[in-house]
Each structure stands twice: as C-alpha cells, then as structure tokens.
Structure 1
Amino acid sequence: MKQFPTNFLWGAATSAPQSEGHSTQNGKSPSTWDKWFELAPEKFNENQGPENTSNMYEMYREDVQRMKDIGMNSFRTSISWTRLLPDGKTVNEEAVRFYRDYFSELKKQDIQLVANLFHFDMPWWLMEKGGWEVRESVDAFAYYAKTAFELFGDLVPMWTTFNEPMVHIECGYLYGYHYPAIVDFKKAVQVGYHTLMAHTMAVKAFKDGGYPGKMGIILNVSPCYPRSQDSEDVKAGHLADLLNTRSFLDPAVLGEIPNELIELVKDHHLTPVTEELDQQWIAQNKVDFIGMNYYQPRRVQAPENPQFPASMPSDFYAPYDWPNKKMNIYRGWEIYPEALYDVAMMMKETYHNIPWFVSENGMGVADEERFMDETGMIQDDYRIEFMQDHLLQLHKGIEAGSNCFGYHTWTFIDCWSWLNGYRNRYGFYRLDLANQYERQLKKSGLWFKELALTQQLKEEEF
C-alpha cells in the first residue's frame, strides 16, 4: 500500500465547452468553436459539434451526486466567457444563476471546486477583432476575470486563469489544428505574450480585489528528454524546455520571463510588442499554486537543417521517436509514467517547491463498448493500470519531498473533445451518445472510489 497525504485532492477535470452543452442557448454568444463548427462541420469527427456535449447544463445536480458516489473530493471545470459575458461587458443573469447553483451544489457535497477561466474558448466577438493577437484581449480577459471573481468568489476556493495556454498558441498559430489555423511563428509569439499578460492582469485583479481563495494556472508540461547526451541533442532539449515549459512556468512562479528566451526570440526576429510596465506586473503577480497536466513526454533531437532565423519551432528541435516506447495507440501518445516523478522533482528543485497538483492525467480509448460486460459496465482495466503506474511515480515524488496536493484525472464523464468529438473516451462514467442524459459507471470509477476514500494506492497486477 502507498499512503497519500491527509487532505489530498482526488478528483477529475473537464471544461465548460466540453461538458455543458447548450452552446448556442440560454443567452450564450458563440465562441470560435461554435463558429468554426458552423463554418466547417466537416473538420469535426462525425460532425460532432459543441452544441450538446455531455449536457451538464441540465444534469449538474445528478452529476455532482455521481462525483460524490465515486469518492471525489474535488473537481475542476471552467466558466464559459461567452456564457457569462456574451458581449464582453453585459452579464448574462441566467448564466449567473446556472453557475451559482452548480457551484453551490459542489460545495454542499463537500467537493472542492477549482474554477478555470479559459479553456480554448475564445469569444467570437473578440476573435473578429484579432483575438489574442491584439492587446485589447488582455484588458477584455482581465475584466471577465474580475467579473467572475465578484460573482462567484464566495463559492470558489481555487481559481486558475488558463488551461494549457501553449495549446491555443501552437494549435491556432503554428500547426493549423484549431481556429484560426494560422501558421506564423511571429504571430504565435505575440499570441503567447498577450496570453501571458492576460494571465498576469487577471492575477493582479484577483490580488487587488482581495478576493478569498488561491490563484493559479494550469500548464501542460511534458518533460523533455533528448535523444542522446551529444551537445546538439542536449541543446535541442534545452530549447524545447525553454519554449514550451519555462515560457509560462517561470513568469507564473518566479515572476520573470527567462532572459535566455527574450534573447532567443530577439535573435530570430520574433520579439513581440510589449508595454512599459509589463515586466513589473509579471514580477508582482506570481501564482499561489500550479496545476500540471501530464499525458506524455517530449522527446527531441537536434534538427537536421535548421533555418536562421527560425520559421518554426522545428528549427530549434526535432521530434525523436524512442524505439523502446510504450504507446496508447488510440491517441498516438507515448505512455511514460516516470516523467511524473521528474515533474515532481522539477517543481521541488527549480520552482521553490511551490504547491502543485496533477490537474489532468488520463487515457483515451476508442470503441470502449468492446470491453462492456453482461451488466453493461465497461471493464477498463487499461485505464486503472495507467492511473496506477502514474500514481506510483507521483507517490515517489511526494515521498521525496515534492509539494503535490492532488491528482485529477481527465475526465469525470466521457466528454466532447474539440475536433475529435467522442472518438476517444476518458471518463469514469460512460456517456450514451443516443441519450445524453444516460451515464453508466465504468470499473475505473469503482477503483477510484476505493483509492479516494482510503487515500491508499494498492499495487495490482494487470
């Protein structure tokens, strides 16, 4: 048995656009996802768009009870910017009632809420002005954050500004996966900088307002492992960490953008437009805690023919296909639990042992009905094995002194996943796509209940 700390947070994460549904109803204005689905539905898996998702807008009371039923003592979701402030300024009172009822239900069941402000769902009205490319987005986000703090601060003990900011930067401005599907390194850097300043000014609004609770940010940190100890491979790994990890983690925790990163973007003519007091605000508005989403490691090698100045991150580092890898074939992701120990040690040794938690970790699998038994329960031993292997490494890190206070899986109920729709399932509960009011507990939910209630990890054989 592996004993976890007293008051450890056991829970799951989702987001508003992936779970609420009603994305064009109840006073909500469109986000980029609503509009993109309207413009190009063929890009979405089986034409599955954001309108319905898991229907927690109607089912939140029953779903909170389901959380309680499997021992969850914490839960992360996001607030929909376009639901709360459809035009960026005017509060949607129906949204206020919904979120207050939803969050009150969690509080009544002693489930600690982590409320996130942005999960890839840029308002369309702001996207038409340039989205994160324009400085106006920083002020707009800070106003939205302040509004949320005022309306829900009595119900939210833990806030986070962004979920995985690197994703909307990379997917929207480098690799063409998310709207606006631009490939432009300089624009990506500017988008990243405005995102960082939006985070900073939201933290400033929180501190200036004296609101209760704690403030953090959720980052997707994949530890970087170079192909070899050859100097060029090591350099590639260093640059990959600098761009993908330290670009947000250093400002959020240490209060400064790494000088090395500033010089790197300058050398390659990628320097973003800034304002005079930005560095001061970053230094003064550090976070109280960090959420770490971990699914897979980053393996890199030296690029073969890098351009100068760089036109893409691949001019700094190239992916390396490790021949000994274990794979989740459904997502095409490497399974490497040992990296979670490395994350724990990084937080202890490099980031002042700031409080942190695993804010996402999970395994997406397609066609799970193959594993359904005669009672209708999915026997997802593969998911249990995945969680167990990662928790063993996390426990090792905690025993070594890393200040980790919780573990959240992705996700509670099978949820809609952007362009992938419902191709892969992650939940403790199966969602019936034919009837979005129906949820069916999986075996992993029973396993998680024992883990959460005993706070002990039993090593099982699979």
Structure 2
Amino acid sequence: MISPPDKSEFTTMKYQFPENFWWGSASSATQSEGAAFDGGKGDNIWDLWYQEQPNRFFNNVSATKASTFYQNYQTDIALMKEIGHNTFRTSFSWSRLIPTGRGEVNQEAVAFYGKVIDELIANDIEPFICLFHFDMPVAMQELGGWESREVVEAYADFADVCFKLYGDRVKHWFTFNEPIVPVEGGYLYDFHYPNVVDFKRAATVAFNTMLAHAEAVKRYRAQQLDGQIGIILNLTPSYPRSQNTADVKAANIADLLFNRSFLDPSVKGEYPQELIAFLQEHDQMPACQEGDLATIAAGNVDLLGVNYYQPRRIQAKLHTVNTDGPFLPEWFFDYYEMPGRKMNPHRGWEIYEQGVYDILTNLRENYGNIPCYISENGMGVEGEEKFIENGQVKDDYRIDFIKGHLTWLHKAVQEGANCKGYHLWTFIDNWSWANAYKNRYGFYRLDLETQTRTVKRSGEWFAQASKANGFD
C-alpha cells in the first residue's frame, strides 16, 4: 500500500497546481478491456484485421485479451486510487455496446459500462468517457466506415444512446480521440485498417468525422445534460528548421493538414481558409452537402483534450517530388532531425517538453483560451524489463519525463493558460495497436503470462505529486 506524505507538508511546492487539478491517466476500450469475443461484443476492425493479417501485429499479439480490464476493472480502479487518480479517461467500445453499429443495444455491455462508471465514482475518480478510439465496428466498416454518411448517422445514434444511459453520471464526454490518426493510418500511410493510400478519400474521412463529431455534440446538447462535451486532439507542433521563408511555409502546410484541420472546426466551428484553398488548388476537396458547414459550426466544444508526445520538425523539400506516386502531404515538406535533440533511446522519439507550453500558449492566444487538459502524454519503452530491480521497474526516466512536461505546463498555467489537468498514457501497460506490447507506458507493469500488476517507481512518484497537487 502506497502511503503518501501528509498534504500539509507540500504547502510550498515549487510547482503547485490549481485547486481541483485533474491527475490521472488514459486508456481505451480495445487496448485494455480484452474479452474481445465475450459479453455479446461484435467484431471491430482490429479483430478483423488480426484475423486477416496477424503478421502485421508485433509478435503476432492481438487485443483479444488485452489488459483484462473487463474482468479486473474493480481491482484496477482500486489501484488507480492508490496512486492518486482523481480522474480517468477511457472509451466505450461501439461494437460492444451496439454489436452491429446500429440497432439493438447489448444489455451485457450496458451493465458492464454502468458498473465501471459506478466503481470509478465510488472511488472518487471522475470518469471521462470517449466515444470513439479507432475501433470501428466491422458492420460499419463494410458500409464504408467514415467515408459513409450512413455511418455518420449511426455514430450519432450510438452517441445518443450513451448520453441517455450514462449522462446522469458522466460529466465529461469526448466524441473522438485523435481523429487524424485513422485518416493517416487508414487512408494515407497504411498502418491502420483498411490500409488505403488515397489523399482524397482521406480528406473525405476527415470531413465526415467532423460531421459525426458535430452531430454527437448536437445530440448531447439536445438532452440538456449537466456536463461538458469535447474532443481529444493530438496537437503536434510543427516547428520549421529555420525562419527561411521556404521552411516556414512547409511547417505551416504540415500544421494545416495535421493540426488545424481538426482544431479549427472543433473550437472555432470553421475550417481555415488556407486549408480550403490548398485542397481546392490540388483537387482534393471532399464532397460538401448543403447544411454541412452549418452543422460543423454548431459543433464547437466545451472542453479540449490535448495529446502530446513529440514535436514535428519540418523543412522545405530537399528533392523533387515523384508526381507519378500517390499524392501525399510529404509532397510539400520533409521531416527534419534537429541536431542535439533530446531522445527517448528506448522508443526512438524526440523528447521536447516545451511543446506542451507552446501548444497551451497557442490555445490561449489564438483559440479563446478554451478550457483544456493534457489528455495524453507518455514515454514508451521497449524491453522495460531490463530496468526491474527487486521486482519493481525503476523507471526514473519516466519520472523525469513527466516532471519535465509538468514544469512547462505549470509555466503556461502561470501565464494564464486554461489547462485543468494532466493524464499520462497509461495506467497499466496496455496493448497498442499494431505495436501490441512492444512499448510499455504504464504506471503499473503488466505481466502478460500471469496478468499480475506491479506498481513502477513512477506510479509511486505520481501518487505523491497528486496528493500534494504539485512537486519540487
């Protein structure tokens, strides 16, 4: 049992956070629940893709069992409380709640999600619920996935069901997690199902996703519930190599495509004119029907979740584009590896803590200082078992990572940023899409053979920081 020091000992913390700051972590249904073919759940695209191409998953490991949250949610929630969580985000599985994506609701799933919510609340952990985290029901994908207006309407119906079932207890809802990722992975770069490489179809998926988001927001507000609805975006800053005009232009294009394509319609209710002009110039505009832009304009959010892991560094193109190849964002910029950058040697990603500050400052200066929180931030480590000493992962590197980002978050808040919390990815080492369990992120180590959970040193540190609402 972790016993953090008395809160009174921390009244002069160097980095003290606002009262009621959200301390917690994030996960998702497919990555944590397991029981993929139990409890009346229908197949989602990850179940299907694994059946078709298991070799596309690290060590051929599927999400079938994942981290067994479905069976162990009560003890897992107790462990969350033990390390100081006052909030926790996860998602509902659309294919568990409505197995074919629309129609009959699965009562076993209704009961399960109700028990999870009640257990969180009983442990003084506020549930944050996301409605879509990459896990399209197979029946909906067969209709065209997010390319289909029919699926947009089915998703809005699914959202409506969730609000009616749980809106009395869940006060923070999120329509989508990282909606750019299915666009990139599924329709540009072949790392998610359905493995399409086609920019115009990707643009359609992006646009229809925002329509689905706005329809869900409309359904939520129609119910006049006592809560907030938002969206979670991975806002990866695009830093130019230099202030040379060509580098700045290249970074701006990357920012338009990967950040502002979802940020502006979510918060401002409109698309950047620069983005529209870019898509028109290159004949990549998605089909827009009468009333679509009015729908999106009404979908502005109450709360924004910000996922941040690493920066995007951009330079102007160094070589001529092969115009016979697929039209891709990389026609307009190259990625740049900054000399002297700080790296996570166990994952291959740059660590740039100031990125949190830059994102929050941008939101304060250019997006009305919308209420927000860091909804994901984390350090993945391959082969983390090499850091086990006396049965515990001594992940001081993760503590340093969290401290570094919280230090910059604190600076942004001191300057007026409306940031309300920090969630680490993730609570327990969980299954991570095509990477499966290759990289570990959790506060708790998961033994895949025994499903034993063991707190890491970072979990103990987080318990103290949360109880003290700050750190030195």
Same fold (TM over 0.5): yes
AA matched with 1:353: N
CA contact (8 A) 1:137 1:194 kept: no
Deviation of residue 154 (structure 1)?
Answer: 1.3
Whole-Å Cα distance in 2 between the matches of residues 326 and 282 of structure 1? 39
For 1:283-302, what aligned pairs fall within 5 Å after superposition? 283-302=297-316
Deviation of residue 306 (structure 1)?
Answer: 4.1
Whole-Å Cα distance in 1 between the matches of residues 295 and 146 of structure 2? 19
CA contact (8 A) 1:268 1:308 kept: no
AA matched with 2:438: R
Deviation of residue 385 (structure 1)?
Answer: 0.5
Paired position in structure 1 for 2:443 = 428
For 1:172-321, what aligned pairs fall within 5 Å after superposition? 172-303=186-317, 304-306=319-321, 311-321=327-337
Paired position in structure 1 for 2:61 = 48
AA matched with 2:330: S
AA matched with 1:321: E
Paired position in structure 2 for 1:347 = 363
1:89 paired with 2:106, answer no
AA matched with 2:351: I
CA contact (8 A) 2:307 2:374 kept: yes
CA contact (8 A) 1:296 1:336 kept: yes
Deviation of residue 211 (structure 1)?
Answer: 2.1
Deviation of residue 329 (structure 1)?
Answer: 2.5
Aligned to 2:284, the other structure's residue is in SS state: coil
CA contact (8 A) 2:309 2:351 kept: yes
Whole-Å Cα distance in 1 between the matches of residues 425 and 310 of structure 2? 14
Paired position in structure 2 for 1:75 = 88
Deviation of residue 307 (structure 1)?
Answer: 6.5
Whole-Å Cα distance in 2 between the matches of residues 39 and 331 of structure 1? 28
| Structure 1 unaligned regions, length at least 5 | none
Whole-Å Cα distance in 2 between the matches of residues 167 and 151 of structure 1? 28
| Structure 2 unaligned regions, length at least 5 | 1-13
Instruction: Give CA-to-partner distance per residue, 1:127-184, whole Å, 9 cap, x none.
Output: 1111111111210110110011011111211000000011110011000001111111
For 1:364-379, what aligned pairs fall within 5 Å after superposition? 364-374=380-390, 376-379=391-394
Instruction: Give CA-to-partner distance per residue, 1:90-127, whole Å, 9 cap, x none.
Output: 10000000000010000111101110001100110011
Instruction: Give CA-to-partner distance per residue, 1:397-426, whole Å, 9 cap, x none.
Output: 011110000000000000000111111111
Query: Of the candidates 91, 115, 123, which is equivalent to residue 109 of structure 1?
Result: 123
Whole-Å Cα distance in 1 between the matches of residues 249 and 358 of structure 2? 19
Instruction: Give CA-to-partner distance per residue, 1:375-407, whole Å, 9 cap, x none.
Output: x11110000000001111110101111000000
**RMSD, aligned α-carbons:** 1.1
AA matched with 1:79: F
Whole-Å Cα distance in 2 between the matches of residues 110 and 316 of structure 1? 49
Deviation of residue 308 (structure 1)?
Answer: 7.1
Greater shift, 309-318 or 209-218, is seen at 309-318
Query: Of the candidates 151, 162, 169, which is equivalent to residue 176 of structure 2?
Result: 162
AA matched with 2:366: T
Paired position in structure 2 for 1:18 = 31
Whole-Å Cα distance in 1 between the matches of residues 165 and 71 of structure 2? 21
AA matched with 2:144: G
CA contact (8 A) 1:189 1:270 kept: yes
Instruction: Give CA-to-partner distance per residue, 1:347-386, whole Å, 9 cap, x none.
Output: 1000000100000001011122211112x11110000000
Whole-Å Cα distance in 2 between the matches of residues 307 and 230 of structure 1? 24
1:387 paired with 2:402, answer yes
Whole-Å Cα distance in 2 between the matches of residues 107 and 349 of structure 1? 35
Whole-Å Cα distance in 1 between the matches of residues 124 and 297 of structure 2? 35
Query: Of the candidates 48, 57, 63, which is equivalent to residue 70 of structure 2?
Result: 57
Paired position in structure 1 for 2:6 = none
Whole-Å Cα distance in 2 between the matches of residues 89 and 212 of structure 1? 27
1:334 paired with 2:350, answer yes
Greater shift, 8-17 or 35-44, is seen at 35-44
CA contact (8 A) 2:213 2:299 kept: no
CA contact (8 A) 2:199 2:327 kept: yes
Deviation of residue 331 (structure 1)?
Answer: 2.4
Query: Of the candidates 413, 419, 423, which is equivalent to residue 434 of structure 2?
Result: 419
Q: How many residues align?
A: 456
CA contact (8 A) 1:18 1:415 kept: yes
1:135 paired with 2:163, answer no
